[in-house]
Structure 1
Amino acid sequence: MYCPTHFQEEKPAELVGLIEQFPLATVIYQGDDGLTADHIPLLYEATPSGLGKLMGHVAKNNPLWQVAPEQELLLVFQGPSTYISPNWYASKSEAGKVVPTWNYAVVHAHCTLNAIHDPAQVLRIITELTDKNEAAQGHPWRVTDAPAEFTKKLLGNIVGISLEIKRWQGKWKVSQNQTQQNRQSVIEGLRSEDSDAQRQMALLVQSHATRSD
């Protein structure tokens, strides 16, 4: 991924934070028919050594779990993103030398995959994924809420996957290349739109205002 220095994000806590907030990964790999992309929600797990791993599951009919152990897969986690209007730049009134752009935050994780067939391990994965994503519900649904025989049958149709992170890269393109004056006016412009994505981007622009003017 092309990434100028001022957009690089290397802090593990920031990368993990984005993955946990936006867990739906685009998983790209070389399949029998060429490049293939699947979209799979994943759970980040820290490990005693290395960068950690990502846990999930796929249908048994999905060829993804059969990739060679040495094949590298690219996982893309897309965080907040939004259009930035030139009208929001304070410097527009000075010379008019402004153009539109798109702000975004993204993590690329390069991984190898290990398939998990043991029903107990697969059950643990779906239980942890469910508990994490149900946590905000008023009355969280639990895997144990479903009939045991029903769950057992479903387990027979899925395969667990464990993706070991070999390297990762973060890119936070959030107006760091703009002056302090333009960053502040972008924040105000984003807040005036009042959507979740734009509010999230306003916070990122504010927290990554690192350029020395």
Structure 2
Amino acid sequence: MYRPAAFRQDDLATLHTQIHACGLALLSSAGEQGLQASHLPLLLAPNEGEFGTLYGHFARANPHWRDLASGAEALVVFSGADAYVHPGWYPAKAEHGKVVPTWNYIAVHAWGQAEVFDEPERLLQLVSRLSERHEQGRAQPWAVSEAPREYIDSMLRAIVGFALPIRRIEGQWKLGQNRSRADQTGVHQGLSTSTEPRDQALAARMPIRE
């Protein structure tokens, strides 16, 4: 990932927070079947390994897991808030006109090689943890234990799990840090007053230079 100095994010705790906030990650790899990409919900175990370990599962019918089983390196992308930046939000436009549109965003990239597994009890633990994570906070959270065990067993046979220790991790917080305080304030105001939820989400993440 190209990361100008103004936008680099290397604080591991901050990167982990963004990974946890991302509901659906993009996992890509290159192997005998060429480039492949899968959209997967993942769990992060932050204290396993130097940078943490990611856990997830594929449908067994998805050939992508076979590349990971063969040792292919994987790149996992966790996307955060993003939004188009309108040039008219920069006060600099009125001063000299030397402004152009851009796109601001937050993203984390993580690399590693995965261990693939299909032991039923290990898979059960994984899907239970995934369900607990995404059901928490609901008035009546669903649990894997509510479904008939024979049905769950059949579902487990249809998936393949993996553990991916993170070997390298990078973050990019492109939030206008290279602009003047006036331009940052203008963009923040433009985004925060937008009717688009994605614009408002990015505005909430923008630092304003003192």
Asked if TM exceeds 0.5, the reply is yes
Query: Kindly tell me: are residues 185 and 13 of structure 1, through their superposed partners in 2, closer, same or farther at Cα, counting changes over 3 Å?
Result: same
Query: Kindly tell me: are residues 76 and 48 of structure 1, through their superposed partners in 2, closer, same or farther at Cα, counting changes over 3 Å?
Result: closer
Relative to structure 2, which stretch is displaced further, 6-15 or 192-201?
192-201
Provide the rounded CA distance (Å) in 2 between the counterparts of 1:192 and 1:49: 42
Aligned to 1:61: 61
Deviations 1:129-179 (A, max 9, x none): 111111132211111111111111111111111111000110111101100
Query: Kindly tell me: are residues 92 and 201 of structure 1, through their superposed partners in 2, closer, same or farther at Cα, counting changes over 3 Å?
Result: same
Aligned to 2:99: 98
Aligned to 2:185: 184
SS of the residue corresponding to residue 142 of structure 2 reads coil
Unpaired segments ≥5 residues, structure 1: none
Provide the rounded CA distance (Å) in 2 between the counterparts of 1:132 and 1:48: 18
Provide the rounded CA distance (Å) in 2 between the counterparts of 1:41 and 1:83: 26
Residue 66 of structure 1 and its aligned partner are, at CA, apart by 2.2
* Aligned partner letter, 1:165: I
Provide the rounded CA distance (Å) in 1 between the counterparts of 2:140 and 2:108: 32
SS of the residue corresponding to residue 82 of structure 2 reads strand
Provide the rounded CA distance (Å) in 1 between the counterparts of 2:144 and 2:131: 7
Provide the rounded CA distance (Å) in 2 between the counterparts of 1:84 and 1:47: 37
Provide the rounded CA distance (Å) in 1 between the counterparts of 2:203 and 2:163: 34
TM-score relative to the length of structure 2: 0.94
Unpaired segments ≥5 residues, structure 2: none
Provide the rounded CA distance (Å) in 2 between the counterparts of 1:196 and 1:138: 24
* Aligned partner letter, 1:64: H
Deviations 1:7-62 (A, max 9, x none): 10001111111111113111111132311111111011123541111111111122
User: RMSD over aligned Cα, in angstroms?
Assistant: 1.5
Is 1:72 aligned with 2:69?
A: no
* Aligned partner letter, 1:135: Q
SS of the residue corresponding to residue 205 of structure 1 reads coil
User: Matched residue pairs, number?
Assistant: 209
Provide the rounded CA distance (Å) in 1 between the counterparts of 2:79 and 2:137: 21
> Does structure 2 retain, via aligned residues, the 8 Å contact 1:65–1:113?
no
